Structure 1
Amino acid sequence: MKLNDEIRITAPVGVVYAALNDPIVLKACIPGCQDLVRHSESELEATVVLKIGPMKVRFSGQVILDNSAAPHRFSIAGTGSGGIAGFAKGGAGVTLEADGPGSILRYQATAEIGGKMAQLGSRLVQSTASKLSAQFFARFVQIVESGTGPVA
C-alpha cells in the first residue's frame, strides 16, 4: 500500500524538522501510541495499539531514521509485530521545503502487512492507514503551529 500527501505548516523548516524528531511530539501525534523511546539519534522503539476493522492490535516495533540529508530530506523505516494478528513494515521519505515564513512537508510512504491483518482486505487496511495518517498530521500541525509543544 502507498500513501502520499503534501501539508503546509505555518512554521519554519527547522522547527518542523525538530518536531518530527522529537519523541514527545511524535508520541502525542501517533494515534494509539502508548510508548515511544529514543535509543539513539537514529533508533526509536514504539508500542502502539490500533483498531483495524474488527481487530484491536498491539504493535511493538523498531523505527530507524536516516537524517543524512537533514533538515530538508530524511527517511524513516520501521517494523512492528502484532503477535498473532501479524506484522507491519514500511517506510517513508519526507521532504521539507521553505514556503515563505512556513514550510511544505511532502511524504511518500509504503507499508506492508501480513498475518491475520492481511485477511481483512486491502480496502479496509488502506482506509485505516489513510485515516491514521490524517490524524497524525492534523495533530502534528496543531502542535507545531501552536508553538506550545504537546497538547493533552
Structure 2
Amino acid sequence: MELSGETVIAAPIQTVWAGLNDPAILRACIPGCEALDRVSPTEMTARVVQKIGPVSASFTGHVTLSEIDAPQSYRITGQGSGGVAGFAKGSALIRLETVEGGTKLSYTVEAALGGKIAQLGSRMIKGVANALAGQFFQRFSEVVTGGEVSATPAPATLRIPAPGAVVPMAAVAGVSWRNFALAGWATAAVFALIALLLTQQV
C-alpha cells in the first residue's frame, strides 16, 4: 500500500523539525498513543491503542530513522504488531521545505499489512489513514505554533467512512497524511507520524 500527501504548517522549518523529533510532542499528537520513547538518537518505540471499524487493538512498534538530512528530510522505517488484529511494516520518507506561510511537510509511505486489519480493504484503510493524518497534523500544528503539550493522548476511536466515501479534507484541517503509518505504530509513530506517525497503522 502506498500513501502520500503534504500540508503547510505555520511555523519555521527548524521548529517543525524539532517537533517531529520530540517524543513528548509526538505522543501528545498521535491519536491513541499511550507511550512513545526514544531508545537511541535514531530509534523510538511506541504503543498505540486504536479502534478501526470492528477491530480494536493495542499496537506496539519499533521505528528507526535513517537518511537524516536535518532539517530537510529523513526516512522512517519500522514495524508494529497488534496481536490477532494484525501487523504493519513499511517506511516513510518525510521532507520539509520552507514556503510562504511556514513549512511544507510532504510524505511518501510504503506499507504492508496483515491480519484482520488487512481484511478491511485498502479503500477503507486509506480513508481512516487520511482521518488519522488529519487529526495528527491539526494537533501538531497547534503545538508547534504555540500550544501546550497535553498529557492526554489524542482520541483513539475513528468513525469509519462508508465504502466509496471521500473523507472531506476540511474535516481534518485540510490535510491528508502519512499515516496510518505514523498513527498506527508510530504508526509507532508517524507522522508520524506520520505519516508515525507515518508508519504505524497502515
TM-score by length of 1: 0.92
Q: Indicate the residue corresponding to 1:38 in structure 2.
A: 38
String of CA shifts for 1:93-151, please: whole Å, max 9, x gaps: 111111246211111112221012111222221111111111111111111112x4414
- Between stretches 114-123 and 20-29, larger displacement belongs to 114-123
Please report the RMSD computed on the Cα atoms of aligned residues, expressed in angstroms: 1.5
Look up the match of 2:106: 106
Q: How far apart are the structure 2 equivalents of 1:60 and 1:129?
A: 18
User: Which one has the bigger helix percentage?
Assistant: 1
| TM-score of the pair, normalised by structure 2 | 0.70
Alignment of 1:2-151 (within 5 A): 2-66=2-66, 68-100=68-100, 102-146=102-146, 148-151=147-150
Structure 1: gaps (5+ residues)? none
Cα distance in 1 for residues equivalent to 2:113 and 2:100: 39
Q: Distance in 2 between matches of 1:52 and 1:20?
A: 25
Compared with structure 1, are the counterparts of its residues 83 and 13 closer, same or farther at alpha carbon in structure 2 (3 Å cutoff)?
same
Q: In 2, distance between residues paired with 1:20 and 1:81?
A: 23
C-alpha distance in 1 between matches for 2:127 and 2:50: 13
Mark the CA change 1:62 to 1:88 in structure 2 (over 3 Å): closer, same or farther. same
C-alpha contact (below 8 Å) 1:3/1:108 kept by paired residues: yes
Contact 2:55 2:116 in 1 (8 A): no
Q: Comparing 16-25 with 82-91, which one deviates more in the overlay?
A: 82-91
Select the structure of larger CA radius of gyration: 1
Contact 1:3 1:130 in 2 (8 A): no
Report deviation, 1:7.
1.1
* In 2: Cα distance, 1:81 partner to 1:34 partner: 15
Q: How many percent of aligned residue pairs carry the same amino acid? A: 48
Alpha carbons 2:87, 2:114 under 8 Å: kept = yes
Local SS of the residue matching 2:78:
strand
Closer, same or farther: CA 149–22 of 1 in aligned 2, 3 Å: farther
Q: Secondary structure at the match of 2:139?
A: helix
Residues in 1 aligned to 2:22 and 2:14: alpha-carbon distance in whole angstroms: 12
The whole-number CA distance in structure 2 between the counterparts of 1:12 and 1:32 is 27
Counterparts in 2 of 1:32 and 1:100: CA distance versus 1, 3 Å: same
Greater share of strand: 1
